[in-house]
Every structure is written in structure tokens, then in C-alpha cells.
Amino acid sequence: MNLRERFAHWAMVASLETIGRSAHNRLMRLAQSPEDAQRDALIKIVRLCQDTAQGRRFGLERVHTVDDFRHAVPIQSYEDMRPAIEREVATGTREIARALTNSDWDGISRLRLSDAQENQLRQFLHGFVIYHLGKLPRGRAAALTV
């Protein structure tokens, strides 16, 4: 290995260690107060979705706490939400969503999305996550019991 290659290798290792250390420190800060981290993540997702049709329907612009979210967004099944989902999802993305629900992991891994389809699917998944975050029971013990 010549001097240039050694320097490039050293620079790459140093940068990866710095990035890894930064990610580790952030993760450790979040782990010290997981409820705060989860609340912050929920509110960020709510802000991303508040201007969608479902966000306007549930008044997400007025949601500032987890309890606000629980009161604003009722428990619904996928079938309850199907008409709204189909109105908001374009035809190509609807085909992808159908493939996601009917395929195994190998089939899903072979899907190739256009930028527009990826964006639409990302918006749909944001709404999906927002819906389900408010339905999770508090604490792991509660999550394991039905």
C-alpha cells in the first residue's frame, strides 16, 4: 500500500469512526428518555401529515401532544380506511401497495419504484405509521397481552 492509499484509508477510517461515534452518542441520548424520543417522533410525523386529506380530516394541525393525537384519531381498521387510501394513492402506487400486501419478502425486494411512486408510497406510509402509533399500548408488558 503506497502513501496515498494509506492516507485515504486512514481518512476513511477516521471519518467512519467520527460518524459512528456521533450516531452512538445520539442513540444513547435518546435511550435515556425513550418516551420523549417517541413523542418527538410522533409529533414530527403529525406535522408531516397535517396537510394531507386525512390530516385535515382528523385536525392534525391541532395535535401537539400524544393525548391530543389519541383524541383526534379514532381507532379504525384498514378496511375502514380503504376508501380514503384509494382516493389518495395513484394507480401505479395502488398496484405497488397491492403487491406489498400479497407478496413475500423476495417479491417485495424485486419491486422497482419510480421517484413519483416512491414519494407517494412514502406519504402513504407516513399516514400508516401515524395511525398505528396512537394505537400502541403503553409499555412492553401491555403490548404482549391482548
Quote the mean pLDDT of the chain.
75
Residue 48 and residue 67: Cα distance in Å, rounded?
18
What lies within 8 Å, CB to CB, of 67 at 6+ separation is none
Residues 17 and 49 in one domain: no
Instruction: Give the pLDDT score at 60.
Output: 93
Percent of the chain at pLDDT above 70? 69
Residues 6+ apart with CB under 8 A from 94: 86
User: Does residue 53 share a domain with residue 40?
Assistant: yes
- Tell me the mean pLDDT in the region 45-74: 89
pLDDT (0 to 100) of residue 72:
94
Query: Burial, 139: exposed, middle or buried (Cβ in 10 Å; 0-12, 13-18, 19+)?
Result: exposed
Q: Which of 52, 98, 100, 94 is nearest to 73 (CA)?
A: 52
Looking at the structure, do residues 56 and 127 belong to the same domain, yes or no? yes
Residue 6's pLDDT band (boundaries 50, 70, 90)?
Answer: confident
Q: Which domain holds residue 17?
A: 1-32
Whether residue 135 is found in the same domain as residue 77: yes
Q: Which residue bears the cell 393525537?
A: 69
Same domain, 28 and 44: no
pLDDT at 90 over 80: no
C-alpha–C-alpha distance, residues 52 and 44, integer Å: 14
CA-to-CA distance for 124 and 119, rounded, in angstroms? Answer: 9
User: What proportion of the chain, given as a percentage, has pLDDT over 90?
Assistant: 10
pLDDT for residue 146: 46
Distances (CA, A) of 18 to 22, 25, 31, 125: 6, 11, 20, 32
pLDDT of residue 48: 82
Are residues 67 and 139 part of one domain? yes
Same structural domain, 13 and 49: no
If asked whether residues 67 and 84 sit together in one domain, one would say yes
> What pLDDT, on a 0 to 100 scale, did the predictor assign at position 65?
92
27 and 42 assigned to the same domain: no
The pLDDT of residue 61 is above 90: yes
Q: What is the pLDDT confidence band of residue 95, given thresholds at 50, 70 and 90?
A: low
115 and 46 together in one domain: yes
140 shares its domain with 75: yes
Structurally, the chain folds into a number of domains equal to 2
Whole-prediction pTM value? Answer: 0.45
Q: Taking the CB of residue 78, how many other CB atoms lie within 10 A of it?
A: 10
User: Do 77 and 26 share a structural domain?
Assistant: no
Residue 85 · residue 109 · CB < 8 Å? no
